[in-house]
Amino acid sequence: MTTSTQTFPLIQLRDVVKNYQSEAGVFPALKTINLSIERGEFLGIIGKSGAGKSTLLNMFTGVDELTSGEVIVHSSGESVSLHNLNENDLALWRGRTMGVIYQSFQLLPMLTLVQNVMMPMDMSGLYHPRKSRERALELLDMVELIEHAHKLPAYISGGQQQRVAIARALANDPPMIVADEPTGSLDSVTADHIFQLFERLVQSGRTIVMVTHDKGLMPRFSRHIEIVDGELLSEGGIQ
């Protein structure tokens, strides 16, 4: 089994269509998308604001429903059609397979940094509570925030918060990281710092999909695709 799934790409989007229902009528946010994400690549999804980047991301994180088509994930020896999973299985699956990072960090404000990082391990039950604490501290050390481990998110800067979000995304040691404009609300120096962190994660073998509107980042991805009005425009090759 393991060998057979290895030959498939990590994620396959087949004819994915997403329409939003609104008062003004049906709005086609994604128009028949076909896309494969390979293991170990650092994929950039680039597009202007409103192009459908977040919508696309939500399709393969399973956070939102699709209108038609299929998203198939091949991992840990299994092939799963994401949208056939129920909400619970999906949450558990996402917690173990995917680290999700948002532009607005989405840390829980009442928990300290270390507790925030421990949360996915607590939810998935993959680690013993004591072990998960050790691991959370290791991850915070990796993102150079160990000395702030017991502070609340409100007391650190935005760039630091995003690093905590990255540490949290890595908590269950998922094969894949998905990031929606993770540097969007950060200054350029901090943003670069975060980007370097991603590059190191790719080097250590993880698959990363990152959404950005910043075309300047294009050369730094291993591959990039451009999205305009819900359609994939160009596809950069593996460098």
Ligand X SMILES: Nc1ncnc2c1ncn2[C@@H]1O[C@H](COP(=O)(O)OP(=O)(O)O)[C@@H](O)[C@H]1O
* Residue 27's binding partner out of ligand X, other proteins, Mg ion, none, with CB under 5 to 8 Å set by partner kind: ligand X
CA-to-CA distance for 37 and 217, rounded, in angstroms?
19
Binding mask 173-202 for ligand X (x = CB under 6 A): ------------------------------
Contact 106, 182 (CB under 8 A): no
**Are residues 25 and 19 in contact, defined by beta-carbon separation less than 8 angstroms?**
no
Report the residue number, 8 or 20, with the smaller CB distance to other proteins: 20
Q: Give how far Cα 158 sits from Cα of 138, 186, 194, Å.
A: 21, 7, 11
**Distance in angstroms between the alpha carbons of the first and the last residue of the chain:** 30
| Piece of 22-30, 117-125, 133-141, 216-224 that binds ligand X (CB under 6 A) | 22-30
Q: List the interface residues with other proteins, window 3-42 (CB under 8 A).
A: none
DSSP string for 154-197: GGS-HHHHHHHHHHHHTTT--SEEEEESTTTTS-HHHHHHHHHH
Nearest-CA neighbor of 167 among 154, 155, 182, 181? 182
Q: How many residues bind Mg ion (CB under 5 A)?
A: 1
Q: Which is nearer to other proteins, 156 or 217 (CB)?
A: 156
CB of 29 to ligand X, least distance (A): 4
Give the binding range for other proteins (CB under 8 A) out of 115-123, 200-208, 212-220, 229-237.
115-123
- Beta carbon of residue 13, minimum distance to other proteins (angstroms, whole number): 18
Nearer residue to Mg ion within complex by CB, 35 or 118: 35
Among 60, 102, 198, 221, binds other proteins (CB under 8 A): 102
Question: Could you tell me the strand order of the sheet in which 98-101 lies?
Answer: 98-101, 176-180, 207-212, 42-46, 223-228, 231-235
Q: Is 96 in the site for other proteins (CB under 8 A)?
A: yes
Q: How many CB atoms are located within 10 Å of the residue 220 CB?
A: 16
Contact between 206 and other proteins by CB under 8 A: the answer reads: no
- Minimum Å gap between C-beta 227 and other proteins is 18
**Secondary structure (3-state) at 126:** coil
Residue 57: C-alpha distances to residues 19, 23, 186 (Å): 14, 24, 20
* Positions 40 through 59 that interact with Mg ion (CB under 5 A): 54
Tell me the CA distances in angstroms from 179 to 22, 131, 185, one per residue in order.
27, 26, 13
| 52 sits near ligand X (criterion: CB under 6 A) | yes
User: Where on the chain is the footprint of ligand X (CB under 6 A)?
Assistant: 20, 22, 27, 29, 47, 49-55
Residues that bind other proteins (CB under 8 A): 58, 63-64, 87-88, 91-92, 94-96, 100, 102, 106-108, 110-111, 115-116, 118-120, 122-124, 129, 168, 171-172
